Structure 1
Amino acid sequence: MAQSSANTVPALIWKMKRMERKYYVDFLRDLLSPDEAVRTEASDRVQDFVNLLSDTQARVAGDLIAMLASHEESRVALEALLHALTDLDGCGMLEGVDLSPLGEIPESAIQVEHREYMEEFASRITGANIGTAE
């Protein structure tokens, strides 16, 4: 069984009241893990520390999550990624995040548990970066 690099992170983060770079980098690495369980768990952790992210950390995490979602093959991990975006959004942390990659998720990969998330982000998926290409 894969072991997350951040098993004790939530307790440490709450003590510090901010997201330290080491734990943030570990979180980003876990999002990129080849192991589906690690990716899913990393996505699920967003709710534990979303209020501790700086604007830059939230923007980078949001951009990465949106890009990863468009290539995620596991329906469980995809749901976790989409939920992580709603956690960021619920705290007003998606400002400046490019959600257009979500539009690249194949229709065949969008299952019933993903539809509500996709509907929630629909206007930001289609409206992202319109008129910014040079």
Structure 2
Amino acid sequence: MSRHALTGILSTCLLALVVSACSVSIGKNPPPPPPPPPARIEHVTIQGLNLRQGPSVTTGVIRSLSLDEAVEVLARQDNWIRVRTMDGLVGYAYGAYLTGFDIRPARRDPGKPAPPGGSSGLSPEEEQELWN
């Protein structure tokens, strides 16, 4: 085979590869990214639930949540749920007082005296969570 014929064949093959590679990307958009998972929305089941800075009654209160207020669930840490309010505040709420969580409020230790003002049946932590 002559040098001229070999050059022609190689040129034709190279041209075919270039055209093939270009035609794959021309006119085709990459697939769109998958949509984000739908937000999980739950509701507050008591009036005055504290939205806290961290997952503990010892952290500061950002604000109180209203009965039936909607919140977006972001994460769970034990019985504390990290939530975002509809006005964009992010904090922690005790999960026993949100819909969608099977968390029971801790009951007051029968060996401890009832809180002043009558028996609420709540533990001191729950009393503090609700009213402080």
TM-score above 0.5, yes or no: no
Considering only CA atoms, is the larger Rg found in Structure 1 or Structure 2?
2
Higher relative contact order (CA 8 A, sep 6+): 1
- TM-score normalised according to structure 1 size: 0.25
Q: Looking at secondary structure, tell me which structure has more helix per residue.
A: 1
